[in-house]
Amino acid sequence: MIDYIKGSIAELTPTEVVIECNDIGYIASISLQTYSELEGKEKAKLYLHHILREDEELYYGFSSKEERSMFRLLINVSGVGAATARMMLSSLTCEEIRQAILAEDVNKIKSVKGIGLKSAQKVIIELKDKISKGAGFAENNAIFVQNSATVDEATTALIMLGFTKSAVQKAVASIIKKNPESSVESIIKQALQML
Protein backbone atom coordinates (compact mmCIF):
# COMPACT_ATOMS: atom_id res chain seq x y z
CA MET A 1 0.00 0.00 0.00
CA ILE A 2 1.37 3.42 -0.97
CA ASP A 3 0.86 6.06 1.73
CA TYR A 4 2.00 9.17 -0.13
CA ILE A 5 3.92 10.43 -3.13
CA LYS A 6 6.24 13.43 -3.20
CA GLY A 7 7.51 15.06 -6.37
CA SER A 8 7.10 17.75 -9.00
CA ILE A 9 3.70 18.73 -10.31
CA ALA A 10 3.84 17.90 -14.04
CA GLU A 11 0.15 18.62 -14.78
CA LEU A 12 -2.67 20.03 -12.67
CA THR A 13 -6.38 20.37 -13.41
CA PRO A 14 -9.27 20.84 -10.96
CA THR A 15 -9.92 17.07 -11.07
CA GLU A 16 -6.50 15.45 -11.64
CA VAL A 17 -2.82 15.90 -10.94
CA VAL A 18 0.25 14.23 -12.39
CA ILE A 19 3.15 14.01 -9.94
CA GLU A 20 6.54 13.22 -11.40
CA CYS A 21 8.70 11.15 -9.08
CA ASN A 22 11.95 9.52 -10.26
CA ASP A 23 11.07 10.13 -13.94
CA ILE A 24 7.67 8.43 -13.62
CA GLY A 25 4.41 10.39 -13.84
CA TYR A 26 1.74 9.25 -11.38
CA ILE A 27 -1.82 10.40 -12.05
CA ALA A 28 -4.29 10.87 -9.21
CA SER A 29 -7.87 12.12 -9.05
CA ILE A 30 -8.22 15.07 -6.68
CA SER A 31 -10.91 17.23 -5.09
CA LEU A 32 -11.19 21.00 -5.49
CA GLN A 33 -9.93 21.27 -1.90
CA THR A 34 -6.65 19.62 -2.90
CA TYR A 35 -6.52 21.53 -6.19
CA SER A 36 -6.64 24.87 -4.37
CA GLU A 37 -3.82 23.69 -2.05
CA LEU A 38 -1.62 22.65 -5.01
CA GLU A 39 -2.37 25.59 -7.32
CA GLY A 40 0.72 27.68 -8.03
CA LYS A 41 3.13 25.17 -6.46
CA GLU A 42 5.91 23.31 -8.26
CA LYS A 43 6.29 20.43 -5.81
CA ALA A 44 3.70 18.50 -3.83
CA LYS A 45 3.18 15.74 -1.31
CA LEU A 46 -0.06 13.82 -1.87
CA TYR A 47 -1.56 11.29 0.50
CA LEU A 48 -2.98 8.48 -1.63
CA HIS A 49 -5.93 6.14 -1.54
CA HIS A 50 -5.64 3.23 -3.96
CA ILE A 51 -8.69 1.60 -5.52
CA LEU A 52 -8.17 -1.62 -7.49
CA ARG A 53 -11.03 -3.02 -9.53
CA GLU A 54 -11.25 -5.79 -12.10
CA ASP A 55 -11.02 -3.37 -15.01
CA GLU A 56 -9.14 -0.37 -13.56
CA GLU A 57 -6.64 0.88 -11.02
CA LEU A 58 -7.21 4.35 -9.54
CA TYR A 59 -5.38 6.65 -7.19
CA TYR A 60 -7.10 9.42 -5.28
CA GLY A 61 -4.75 12.10 -3.97
CA PHE A 62 -5.23 14.42 -1.00
CA SER A 63 -3.23 17.38 0.28
CA SER A 64 -3.81 16.33 3.91
CA LYS A 65 -4.29 13.16 5.92
CA GLU A 66 -7.47 14.70 7.32
CA GLU A 67 -9.04 14.94 3.85
CA ARG A 68 -8.00 11.36 3.02
CA SER A 69 -9.49 10.11 6.31
CA MET A 70 -12.77 11.87 5.55
CA PHE A 71 -12.79 10.36 2.03
CA ARG A 72 -12.27 6.88 3.50
CA LEU A 73 -15.12 7.39 5.97
CA LEU A 74 -17.43 8.57 3.20
CA ILE A 75 -16.72 5.68 0.82
CA ASN A 76 -17.53 3.23 3.62
CA VAL A 77 -21.10 4.53 3.71
CA SER A 78 -23.28 2.18 1.64
CA GLY A 79 -24.29 3.88 -1.60
CA VAL A 80 -21.46 6.46 -1.51
CA GLY A 81 -18.76 5.70 -4.04
CA ALA A 82 -15.38 7.32 -4.64
CA ALA A 83 -16.78 9.78 -7.22
CA THR A 84 -19.51 10.94 -4.81
CA ALA A 85 -17.04 11.25 -1.91
CA ARG A 86 -14.73 13.34 -4.12
CA MET A 87 -17.70 15.53 -5.13
CA MET A 88 -18.53 16.06 -1.44
CA LEU A 89 -14.93 17.06 -0.69
CA SER A 90 -15.00 19.42 -3.69
CA SER A 91 -18.22 21.11 -2.54
CA LEU A 92 -17.57 21.24 1.23
CA THR A 93 -14.47 21.36 3.40
CA CYS A 94 -13.75 18.48 5.80
CA GLU A 95 -14.80 20.73 8.68
CA GLU A 96 -18.09 21.64 6.97
CA ILE A 97 -18.85 17.94 6.36
CA ARG A 98 -17.98 17.12 9.97
CA GLN A 99 -20.17 19.94 11.32
CA ALA A 100 -23.08 18.99 9.02
CA ILE A 101 -22.93 15.35 10.18
CA LEU A 102 -22.71 16.27 13.87
CA ALA A 103 -25.55 18.80 13.54
CA GLU A 104 -27.58 16.31 11.44
CA ASP A 105 -27.86 19.01 8.76
CA VAL A 106 -29.40 16.92 5.95
CA ASN A 107 -29.86 19.99 3.70
CA LYS A 108 -26.15 20.89 3.81
CA ILE A 109 -25.14 17.37 2.73
CA LYS A 110 -28.00 17.21 0.22
CA SER A 111 -26.71 20.46 -1.36
CA VAL A 112 -23.85 18.42 -2.89
CA LYS A 113 -24.56 17.45 -6.50
CA GLY A 114 -25.53 13.78 -6.74
CA ILE A 115 -26.54 13.41 -3.08
CA GLY A 116 -30.24 12.82 -2.48
CA LEU A 117 -32.22 12.80 0.74
CA LYS A 118 -31.70 9.07 1.44
CA SER A 119 -27.93 9.25 0.81
CA ALA A 120 -27.61 12.34 3.02
CA GLN A 121 -29.49 10.57 5.82
CA LYS A 122 -27.29 7.47 5.44
CA VAL A 123 -24.12 9.58 5.67
CA ILE A 124 -25.35 11.14 8.91
CA ILE A 125 -26.60 7.90 10.46
CA GLU A 126 -23.50 5.86 9.58
CA LEU A 127 -20.87 8.50 10.40
CA LYS A 128 -22.18 10.55 13.33
CA ASP A 129 -20.80 8.26 16.05
CA LYS A 130 -17.47 7.76 14.27
CA ILE A 131 -16.95 11.49 13.74
CA SER A 132 -17.96 12.44 17.28
CA LYS A 133 -15.24 10.05 18.47
CA GLY A 134 -12.64 11.86 16.36
CA ALA A 135 -12.52 9.60 13.28
CA GLY A 136 -11.79 11.23 9.94
CA PHE A 137 -9.10 13.52 11.27
CA ALA A 138 -5.36 13.33 11.39
CA GLU A 139 -4.19 12.67 14.95
CA ASN A 140 -2.72 16.16 15.44
CA ASN A 141 -5.89 17.87 14.18
CA ALA A 142 -8.43 15.72 16.00
CA ILE A 143 -11.08 17.52 17.98
CA PHE A 144 -12.53 14.89 20.23
CA VAL A 145 -15.95 16.40 20.54
CA GLN A 146 -17.25 16.45 24.08
CA ASN A 147 -19.13 19.67 23.64
CA SER A 148 -19.11 20.83 20.03
CA ALA A 149 -21.21 23.93 20.83
CA THR A 150 -18.41 25.17 23.10
CA VAL A 151 -15.79 24.48 20.43
CA ASP A 152 -17.89 26.22 17.74
CA GLU A 153 -18.50 29.28 19.90
CA ALA A 154 -14.82 29.65 20.81
CA THR A 155 -13.71 29.09 17.19
CA THR A 156 -16.17 31.67 15.85
CA ALA A 157 -15.10 34.24 18.45
CA LEU A 158 -11.40 33.79 17.61
CA ILE A 159 -12.05 34.06 13.86
CA MET A 160 -14.02 37.27 14.49
CA LEU A 161 -10.98 38.61 16.35
CA GLY A 162 -9.09 38.36 13.07
CA PHE A 163 -7.20 35.07 13.29
CA THR A 164 -7.21 32.69 10.32
CA LYS A 165 -9.60 29.73 10.44
CA SER A 166 -6.84 27.11 10.03
CA ALA A 167 -4.69 28.63 12.81
CA VAL A 168 -7.71 28.86 15.12
CA GLN A 169 -8.76 25.26 14.44
CA LYS A 170 -5.24 23.94 15.21
CA ALA A 171 -5.04 25.92 18.46
CA VAL A 172 -8.55 24.92 19.60
CA ALA A 173 -7.90 21.27 18.67
CA SER A 174 -4.75 21.11 20.81
CA ILE A 175 -6.54 22.80 23.76
CA ILE A 176 -9.51 20.39 23.55
CA LYS A 177 -7.18 17.41 23.21
CA LYS A 178 -5.46 18.35 26.51
CA ASN A 179 -8.66 19.31 28.32
CA PRO A 180 -11.92 18.22 26.63
CA GLU A 181 -14.03 19.90 29.32
CA SER A 182 -12.64 23.43 28.70
CA SER A 183 -15.14 26.30 28.82
CA VAL A 184 -15.52 28.83 25.98
CA GLU A 185 -13.63 31.47 28.02
CA SER A 186 -10.84 29.04 28.86
CA ILE A 187 -10.44 27.96 25.21
CA ILE A 188 -10.32 31.58 24.01
CA LYS A 189 -7.80 32.65 26.68
CA GLN A 190 -5.48 29.72 25.96
CA ALA A 191 -5.79 30.16 22.19
CA LEU A 192 -4.91 33.87 22.42
CA GLN A 193 -1.64 32.88 24.10
CA MET A 194 -0.91 30.37 21.30
CA LEU A 195 -1.89 32.51 18.29
- Delimit the domains of the chain by residue range: 4-62, 65-131, 143-194
Measured distance CA(46)–CA(67) in Å, rounded: 11
- How does 178-189 read in b/e, with b if 16+ C-beta sit within 10 Å? eeeebebeebbe
Measured distance CA(81)–CA(103) in Å, rounded: 23
> Among 3.30.70.20, 3.40.50.970, 3.40.50.12240, 2.40.50.140, what is the CATH number of 4-62?
2.40.50.140
Give the residues across from 19 on adjacent strands: 9, 26
Could you tell me where the DSSP H helices lie in 7-160?
Answer: 32-38, 65-75, 82-91, 94-102, 106-110, 117-132, 148-160
Domain 65-131 in CATH 1.10.150.20? The answer is yes
Identical topology for domains 4-62 and 65-131:
no
Would you write out the chain's pLDDT as a tens digit for each of its 195 residues? 789 999 999 999 999 999 999 999 999 999 999 999 999 999 999 999 999 888 888 999 999 999 999 999 999 898 899 999 999 999 999 889 998 998 899 999 999 888 889 989 999 998 888 887 665 554 334 444 444 667 778 888 888 888 888 888 888 888 887 877 778 888 888 888 888
Planar angle of CA 39, 31, 117, nearest 5 degrees: 150
pLDDT recorded at residue 43: 95
The contacts of residue 40 (CB under 8 Å, 6+ apart) are none
> Among 1.20.1640, 1.10.1660, 3.30.870, 1.10.8, what is the CATH number of 143-194?
1.10.8
pLDDT recorded at residue 137: 52
pTM metric for this prediction? 0.67
